[in-house]
Amino acid sequence: MVQIYAEPFCRRHYGRRFSKAFALRGLLQATSIVLACVIAYATGNLWQKTAIHLEQPKVAFTYDVLLVLEGTQTSQIKVWSTYPELNTALGSKLASVDVQATQQDTNFDDITDIITVTLTSASSTPIHSAKMLMQFNYRLEDIVTLQMQSLAFVSHTSPLPGSSLTTDGQLRLRQGFPLWEGGNLTDPRPALLSSIRAGGAFQATETLKLSSILSTYLDRNQTTAYVYDSPVWEAGDLGVFTIDCKIRIPKNELVIYRPQRASIVKQGWIQILSIYIILWWVFSWCEVFVFRYRILDTRTISDVDAKAHRF
């Protein structure tokens, strides 16, 4: 013999609306809800104030550069930029520079993965230090919409005169505070030119203070940083100095954002519900003990017992 079908039977307990048995069931339900909320809150992260999203930003080189080459003496400083008004004011400090840039899409997803920038400068004095600022169009489009112009800073100093500087690193996003989910933030300010003008970095004395430019730029909430670990400085005094920078765009950039209220409530409700189910399962066994052993008075009707008929 095999079991074909199982039909459950019930034993029903009835009581008055304001009886102790009725109050017990309501008390257990209310206790389950309250304890679920307390436990979810006490364990932390009930209301998710910030979240992290992984995204590959869309980055394009704007061909805006500020270059400072230094020797052993202050009179050996050479400066070059892509802004004609600055180059005109430099006078004899203006360097002769040629710029080449390429953008590569290595995985063919229509998003730039690597940007290579090469600067070649003819110099009659030995180069012991090189500092450079490059400007990019930076854009995020998934969880948050962000469009801005950002900077990458390269700097290296050596006691030996150099013929070239090579760097290989990533352009990483830096945030002062989280962005809003679904928000649309557009910063139309050119990062390099606005920093120079706002910080008063370029003065009539032909002294260019990169610290002022960077300070003005870092006052923004969203910035980028060119992170490279092992710059290669090649010694030499050939009259030509080359800077070769390979800038990699992270495929999984960390974007910190504040979720919308609907997302916060949904996340909190799931936590409370999962804890409530466990608590109510535990308290249901308390009800079984109370009503099975008749601790509280109720009128019981069983599906197994025969019903009394009246004629």
pLDDT per residue over 222-248, tens digit each?
A: 999 999 999 999 998 778 999 999 999
pTM, entire model:
0.77
Supply the mean pLDDT for the chain: 85
Q: Which pLDDT belongs to residue 152?
A: 95
DSSP labels for the chain? ----------EEEE--TTSHHHHHHHHHHHHHHHHHHHHHHHTS-SS---EEEEE--EEEEEEEEEEEEE-SSGGG-EEEES-HHHHHHHGGGBPEEEEEEEEE-TT-SSS--EEEEEEEEE-SS-EEEEEEEEEEEEEE-SSSEEEEEEEEEEEEEEEEEEEEEEEEEEEEEEESSPEETT-EEE--S-HHHHHHHHHT-B-TT--B-HHHHHHHHHTSSEEEEEEES--EEEE--SSEEEEEEEEEPPTTEEEEEEPPHHHHHHHHHHHHHHHHHHHHHHHHHHHHHHHHTTSS--EEEESSSPPPP--
**Which range in 162-176, 262-276, 295-309 is most confidently predicted, on average pLDDT?**
162-176
Q: How confident is the model at residue 196 (pLDDT cuts 50, 70, 90)?
A: low
- Selected residue with higher pLDDT from 183 and 196: 183
Domain regions of the chain by residue span: 11-47+261-302, 53-258
Q: Which pLDDT belongs to residue 128?
A: 93
Q: Which pLDDT belongs to residue 231?
A: 94
pLDDT tens sequence across 140-170 = 998 999 999 999 999 999 999 999 999 999 9
Instruction: Work out the average pLDDT over 195-213.
Output: 57
Instruction: Work out the average pLDDT over 54-78.
Output: 90
Report the range of poorest mean pLDDT among 53-62, 80-89, 204-213: 204-213
- Selected residue with higher pLDDT from 94 and 172: 172
